[in-house]
Amino acid sequence: MSNQFRELLKKVGSGQHTKKDLTRSEAATAAKMMLLQEATPAQIGAFMIAHRIKRPTVAELVGMLDAYDELGPKLQPLPDVSKTVTVFGTPYDGRTRTAPVTIITALLLASVGIPVVMHGGDCMPTKYGIPLIEIWQGLGIDFSQLSLVQVQQLLVKTGLAFVYIPKHFPQANSLVPYRSQIGKRPPAATLELIWSPYRGNSHLVAGYVHPPTENLFREAFKLRNQTNYTLVKGLEGSCDLPRNRTAIIMVSKPETTTGFECLKLHPRDYGFAGDEVSLESTALLLCEVKDILAGKPSELMKSTIWNGGFYLWRCGICSDLTTGLSKAEVMLTSGQVAQKLTEIGSIVKSLVNQELEQTTSNIFSVDR
């Protein structure tokens, strides 16, 4: 048992009237001790549920992010250091109700030269929704086979990469079973949305559900000097813009006094209002995604264009949303986005084969 961790646990778990907030440094220490398993399982579980009940402060969230930055994987800056990489932060426990289009958005951006980094793990509690890695695998791309060095190579070659937590950040993945055992999302599920596994210039995109979370993120960004971000009140807390209601989005505006601007985009004003497409099954979703990449019209295609158009505008490729929507449609129906998927798939297979050949060569060398 760690006496040091016990003192931190006592601060956050002492009840409504006697609890105390952790400092940034204390929160970083607590997160590191959990990631490194220096705290006992009982202490880790108790901390997670106590901290959830108390609710993390901005300083605590930032401290935990400091620990993730210190212990977690980091992709190095691109050769062109002036390039800004868009990092999508989506809930690791996936989607269960609405069909996600985040992956197509990422492909679309990479197709026009906007580098994208995504991160996440396998199907996990408490939602047990479909994770991004499973959709990629269904499209023939298995990022779970790549080493971090290969992920870096893929980012440089194609402008798109995926950091797979079970392989690239096993310390964080070791905490996943606690989510099932306590039956609730721990504060780490919040910080994952704004954690970046990229060391260079980044544009952080994160989804959220509750308005207080958006404020928490903005205040955390101030302390971490993150001045380029987009926060979306998205579908199931994701980065996907809704079509059945007004899209509420906070975008960074460092040149203004507030540092941000609130956008309220009405889908009906652009001809994209409609019901959200339900997530019926993984198999059906993959069929729908493949149809979109083939340029076939559908309700999910409308959702894809709505999202793609916004992010093309937000990332500076198009001067306004209307132009972004038109460009997204052309890119999808012309096969440009599908071609990007094929390119990435080909390079991933090449990297995996190179690794297998090197491993085989090493085995033969030892035998000789």
pLDDT digits (tens, 9 = 90+) for 106-153: 999 999 999 999 999 999 999 999 999 999 999 999 999 999 999 999
- What is the average per-residue pLDDT within 221-240? 98
Q: What integer pLDDT is reported at residue 18 of this predicted model?
A: 85
Look at residue 79 and tell me if it is in a domain: no
pTM of the predicted protein model:
0.95
| In-domain check, residue 344 | no
- pLDDT value at residue 362: 62
- In which band, very low, low, confident or very high, does the pLDDT at 363 lie, cut at 50, 70 and 90? low
3-state SS assignment for residue 39? coil
**The pLDDT of residue 15:** 79
Mean pLDDT across 323-344: 98
Tokens 């090493």 found at: 362
Tell me, yes or no, whether 361 lies in a domain: no
Q: How far apart are CA 61 and CA 28, in angstroms?
A: 9
Question: In this structure, are 323 and 184 located in the same domain?
Answer: yes
Q: How confident is the model at residue 367 (pLDDT cuts 50, 70, 90)?
A: low
Measured CA to CA, the distance from residue 115 to residue 108 in angstroms comes to: 10
Predicted local confidence at residue 306, as pLDDT: 98
What's the chain's average pLDDT?
95
Residues 146 and 19 in one domain: no
In a domain, 248, yes or no: yes
Residues 35 and 106 in one domain: no
Per-residue pLDDT reduced to its tens digit, 155-180: 999 999 999 999 999 999 999 999 99
At 63, which CATH number?
1.20.970.10
Same domain, 10 and 112: no
| Alpha-carbon distances, residue 179 vs 43, 44, 82 (angstroms) | 14, 11, 39
pLDDT confidence bin for 365, thresholds 50/70/90: low
pLDDT in tens, 11-26: 999 877 788 999 999 9
Average of pLDDT values for 215-229? 97
On whether the CB atoms of residues 281 and 272 are closer than 8 A, the answer is: no
Q: How many domains does the chain have?
A: 2
pLDDT at 359 exceeding the cut of 90: no
Instruction: Tell me what pLDDT residue 2 has.
Output: 82
Domain that holds residue 67: 3-71
Cβ atoms 173, 202 nearer than 8 A:
no
Residue 70: how many CB atoms within 10 A of its CB?
Answer: 12
Q: Is the Cβ–Cβ distance between 209 and 231 less than 8 Å?
A: no
Pairing of strands 247-252, 260-265: antiparallel
Q: Are 294 and 283 in contact (CB under 8 A)?
A: no
Residue 368 has pLDDT above 80, yes or no: no
